[in-house]
Amino acid sequence: MKTLKRISLVAFVALAAVFATGCTTANYGLTPESVQNQRDTFKFKVFMGGFSTVETTDKAVAGDLETYQKNNGYKNHKIIGKRFNPIPTYYEYTVQFFRD
């Protein structure tokens, strides 16, 4: 009986750890959506799962924005908008990039 309780406890802790950490994934690939009539401005979507928070998505997109910036000849960027979409769950970041 003690063994069954221990196995149940270990399984519960493992599942709780998986759900508590959450997950995020970027869905824009190499070409984010361009914003019409706004030069060098793009929309990036970061999909969420589990118990991810806005801080988790902010961290996930920060590195990707730096990489996109460097790969496309920009020197700086500014997040000018952030929108939450409940179903499917994602944050959409509107980002303006600068060459100088």
Q: Is residue 34 situated within a structural domain? A: yes
Q: Is residue 15 situated within a structural domain? A: no
Q: How far apart are the first and last CA of the chain?
A: 68
pLDDT digits (tens, 9 = 90+) for 36-70: 999 999 999 888 877 777 888 898 899 889 999 99
Instruction: Please report, for residues 10, 48, 61, 92, 99, the alpha-carbon distance to residue 27 in angstroms, rounded to integers and kept in the order given.
Output: 34, 11, 11, 10, 24
Indicate the pLDDT class of residue 30, thresholds 50, 70 and 90: very low
Q: Is residue 4 situated within a structural domain? A: no
Helix (H) or strand (E) holding 9: helix 2-21
Q: Which domain holds residue 52?
A: 23-98
Q: Is residue 1 situated within a structural domain? A: no
Indicate the pLDDT class of residue 19, thresholds 50, 70 and 90: very low
What is the identity of the amino acid at 3? Answer: T
Helix (H) or strand (E) holding 32: none
Q: Tell me how long the chain is.
A: 100
Q: Is residue 39 situated within a structural domain? A: yes
State whether the Cα torsion 67-73-77-79 is positive or negative: negative
pTM score > 0.75 for this model?
A: no
Structural domain total, the chain: 1
Give residue 27's pLDDT: 56
Q: Is residue 76 situated within a structural domain? A: yes
